[in-house]
Amino acid sequence: MDSIYPPGPASVPANLSQPSASYRRQAMLAMAGLGAFILLYFSIAACFAWSSYRLINLALVDAKHAWICWLVGLCAGFLALFMIKALFFFKKGSDVPGLEIDAQQEPRLFEFLHRLADQAGAPRPHRVFLADNVNAAVFYDLSLLNLLFPSKKNLIIGLGLVNVLTLSEFKAVLAHEFGHFGQKSMAVGRWVYVAQQIAAHIVAKRDALDKFLRMLSRTDIRVAWIGMALTLVVWSIRSLLETAFNLVLMAQRALSREMEFQADLVAVSLTGSDALVHALQKLQAADDAWDRALGFGYGELHEGRRVRDLFAVQSRVLEHMRQVLNDPGYGDVPQLPEQAREAHRVFQSEFAQPPKMWATHPQNHEREDNAKRLYVPAELDPRSAWCVFADAQVVREAMTRRLLQQEEDKEPVAQEEALQALDRQFALETLNSRYRGAYLGRSVVRHAANVEALYALDLDDALGQLEQLYPESLHGQLEQLRALEREKALLEALRAGIYKAPGGVIRHRDRTLQPRELPAAIEAMRQECEAAQREIIDHDRRCRSAHRAAASQLQAGWDAYLESTLAVLHYADHCGASVRDAQGLLANVVAVVTADGKVSNRELKRVIKAGAELHRVLGGVYRQAGDVALNPELLGDLGIQSWAEALGHFQLPAPDKQNIGEWMNVIDGWTNALANALGQLRQAVLIRLLQGEARVAEMLRSGEPAEAAPEASRVPPPFETLLPGSERQLQTRLGLWDRFQTADGFFPALVRLVVAVSIVGVALMLGATLELFFF
């Protein structure tokens, strides 16, 4: 075991991983909040149950006032049952946590885990699962009994994470998890989680009791008022408990952040300050590469080929992404400096961050600062984390088989064949590094209302212009634009209250901003973004114009081919954007009108109106499909006979009051199918455009007679465009009534709490003092 167990630090500061004063304070607050919530919950339930018992007993001994006692007693009993039923639940930690393994199957891994757990002073994991993700986590089963008895902790190890980590980084990640295993305050988290299931059952679950109230409220008014009154009290109980539990969650999440810091320090004490930070640095790239590997695996399976090892695909994806992004360090960690390693930082703080109120994990730069506050040097073992498995290849292939299951299991293709298929996907013209990333994650046609606007003035020296395209500086310009757009988005998030400035002080570009200065700063950033955008758009225009001028010199139909191909790209991009924008509007309206759990007639009309707009956009694309004539090359790329045949007939009726329920169930299917088809057309035609431009430049440079151009395509002359900034307006804030219903904001939450407390108080007082009025 010593040969694969990385050595720990030579010396560790005393009490490094001991809980801090902040940790202990947050634990006390979380316990106090949880205790207050439990006391409130059981007090209300007990009051209703006692009132029901007492009033029904009174009804049995006093015939004169029996009817009122029966009425109020049964209502109180109903409310007690409503609260007590939420106590009976059982929640599995995970339905299918992964592939369970034991010490007989993986003796080296379990010896590694047990040794690490013992060093961390933590209990050994009860069960160990291998998962198909980029993560490592603790989980356990929960029920009401876990308020009193602890649940055994299980460990999940994501193999997508193992695949990118070194042995030291893997040890650091597991040491962090064992830091959680050993935390006594994990019990607080367990108790809060149990309470959360109870609160969620009360607040969100609608069952037979709610159905009974709805039926009762729709009967004769002489009886319906009882159902209405009970519905009001039930709403008040839900509102009161939701608000109370949100306060508990705030305290528990503050404790959770402290627990993360403390678990990080456990990892630091066992692996040093750098290993955990390096693992955090690799997570995002590993996650993206794993998603791409899964997409590739499922795509191959659809074509009748099963990949043998998805983890090899993930590694190859990372290699390709380094080339595509022109970033050799993508998904890796920077070299550690020889001196002053305690001052070296991998993560940087931003001037705007998500509010900590609801965050369960600190941000990465905070975790790095915590890990290096007392810097602990340690030797880093660069070997792959796979070496802790007895036969890593068997494990990799077993997990791949588990992921790519089919009724008829196919024999996997050779791994080299699968990797070659992946290489072909990354050999797309748009990913060619000579374009400096100009066609990655951005549209080159959305800014133009018509195709002619995509060209600059006529160029005389076509060959000279071609040699000046795609300079090395273009990559820097694109990166600068992305940085400016992110900076602007952060300022807008600050103004909207979505993000908060660290310490409450907005520090932007070496100056401190007051909140009233944010609009001016955002406007200045908008102008900077537009200026940077114009430079890149001007380069796009020079690309199109230089190649069109070169094609005109060649003749042989190349100018018409390039123009028509660009027109198809313009069509596909704008139509796809309009479809997604209309879909976004409908989703926004649905989210707003359903925020309070009910939809009024007025809100239903809003949904129908937004649905009609999406239906209009879809119908327009389908109606014009017959006017789109793609050349044989594009049809072959897409594997279709014609664009109209590929889309099919638009048989979806417009939404109305009668069909809106069924219509909402199918609209996303129609929308996504059309948007995906337009996206595939956009990708195919962009590749053909770049290939055509490259061929034109090659023929012009060679001076040889030009070969005949492919056949030109055709698109409908008038179609709906969507320029940046002209998107359909979305509602970003709820109305007053919905804000009250959902407690959105401090004052709406306060008003709802006062109303809910008043109604629950009246209901409790009625049950407690009824006999004073009649007996």
- Three-state DSSP at 515 gives helix
Integer angstrom CA distances of residue 430 from 178, 442, 556? 45, 11, 25
CB 524 within 8 Å of CB 501: no
Residue 357: its pLDDT value, please?
Answer: 60
In sequence order, what are the beta bridge partners of 232?
none
Burial pattern 697-709, b for ≥16 Cβ within 10 A else e, equals bebbeeeeebeeb
Look at residue 767 and give its three-state secondary structure: helix
Rg (CA), the chain: 32
Identity at 427, one-letter amino acid code = A
Q: What span, in angstroms and rounded, lies between the C-alpha atoms of 401 and 58?
A: 67
Q: Alpha-carbon distance 365 to 351, whole Å? A: 12
Residue 156 bridge partners (DSSP): 129, 137
- Tokens representing residue 354 in the block: 């998500």
> How many alpha carbons lie under 13 Å from residue 735 in its C-beta half-sphere?
10
295 neighbors 289 (Cβ within 8 angstroms): no
- Ranges 180-194, 368-382, 450-464, 525-539: which has the least confidence: 180-194
Task: Taking residues 186-196, report their average pLDDT.
Answer: 63
Contacts of 433 (CB under 8 A, 6+ apart): 323, 324, 326
Question: For residue 326, what pLDDT band results from cuts at 50, 70 and 90?
Answer: confident
DSSP-based three-state secondary structure for 374: coil
150: confidence class by pLDDT, cuts 50, 70, 90:
low
Residues 29, 16: Cα–Cα separation, whole Å = 23
- Mean pLDDT over each residue of the chain, to the nearest integer: 89
Secondary structure (H, E, C), 398-453? HHHHHHCCCCCCCCECCHHHHHHHHHHHCCCHHHCHHHCCCCCCCCCCCCCCCHHH
What is the distance between the alpha carbons of residues 291 and 426, in angstroms, rounded to a whole number?
Answer: 15
What local confidence, expressed as pLDDT, does residue 94 receive?
47
Concatenate the DSSP letters of all residues of 457-499 into one string. S--S-HHHHHHTSS-THHHHHHHHHHHHHHHHHHHHHHHHTSS
Question: For every residue of 653-688, which 3-state class applies, written as one string?
Answer: CCCCCCCHHHHHHHHHHHHHHHHHHHHHHHHHHHHH
- Predicted pLDDT of residue 248: 84
pLDDT (tens digit, 9 = 90+) per residue, 53-98?
988 888 887 666 678 888 888 899 998 988 888 777 545 544 557 8
Place of tokens 């599995």: 92
Rounded to whole angstroms, how far apart are CA atoms 219 and 225? 9
pLDDT tens digits, one per residue of 523-537: 999 999 999 999 999
129: helix, coil or strand?
Answer: strand
What are the tens digits of pLDDT across the range 470-498?
999 999 999 999 999 999 999 998 888 88
Q: Tell me, what DSSP letter sits at residue 325? A: T
Statement: residue 264 has pLDDT above 50: yes
Using CB atoms within 10 A of its CB, is residue 424 exposed (0-12), middle (13-18) or buried (19+)? exposed
Question: For residue 141, what pLDDT is reported?
Answer: 64
Q: What is the mean pLDDT of residues 701-712?
A: 92
C-alpha–C-alpha distance, residues 330 and 326, integer Å? 9
User: Could you give the 3-state DSSP secondary structure of residue 102?
Assistant: coil
Task: Give the DSSP letter string of 555-614.
Answer: -TTHHHHHHHHHHHHHHHHHHHHHHHHHHHHHHHHHHHHTTTS---HHHHHHHHHHHHHH
Does the pLDDT value for residue 259 go beyond 80? Answer: yes
Residue 516 in 3-state DSSP?
helix
The pLDDT of residue 768: 78
**Comparing C-alpha atoms, which of 267, 259, 276 is closest to residue 346?**
276
Indicate the pLDDT class of residue 25, thresholds 50, 70 and 90. Answer: confident
Q: Which two tokens stand for residue 102?
A: 């034991």
Residue 202: pLDDT band by 50, 70, 90 thresholds?
Answer: confident
Quote helix, strand, coil % in the chain, to nearest 5: 65, 5, 30
Are 80 and 52 in contact, with CB atoms under 8 Å apart?
yes
pLDDT of residue 86: 75
pLDDT given for residue 356 in this prediction: 66
Q: What one-letter code names the amino acid at 663?
A: W
Residue 185 is predicted with a pLDDT of 55
Report the candidate in 739, 752, 768 with the shortest Cα–Cα distance to residue 244. 752
CA gap 518, 311 in Å, rounded: 46
If you ran DSSP here, which 8-state letter would residue 245 be given? H
CA 411 to CA 402: how far, in whole Å?
Answer: 14
Q: Which residue has the tokens 């049995």?
A: 60
The DSSP H or E segment spanning 101 is: strand 99-101
Report residue 775's pLDDT band, with 50, 70 and 90 as the boundaries.
low
Burial 42-73 (b: 16+ CB within 10 A, else e): eebbebbbebbebbbebbeeeeebbebbeebb
Strand bridging mode 511-513 / 506-508: antiparallel
H helices present in 221-377, as ranges: 221-271, 273-302, 310-324, 364-372
The region of weakest confidence among 27-41, 273-287, 412-426, 561-575 is 27-41
- For residue 184, is pLDDT > 70? no
State phi, psi for 507 to the nearest 5 degrees: -110, 115
The per-residue DSSP string of 683-742 comes to HHHHHHHHHHHHHHHHHHHH-PPPPPPPPP-B--SS-----TT-PPP---S--HHHHHHH
Burial label for 39, CB within 10 Å (0-12, 13-18, 19+), is: exposed
- Is the pLDDT at 579 greater than 90, yes or no? yes
**What does the DSSP 8-state code read for residue 501?**
-
At 149, give phi and psi (nearest 5°). -115, 135
What are the sequence ranges of the domains in the chain?
451-702
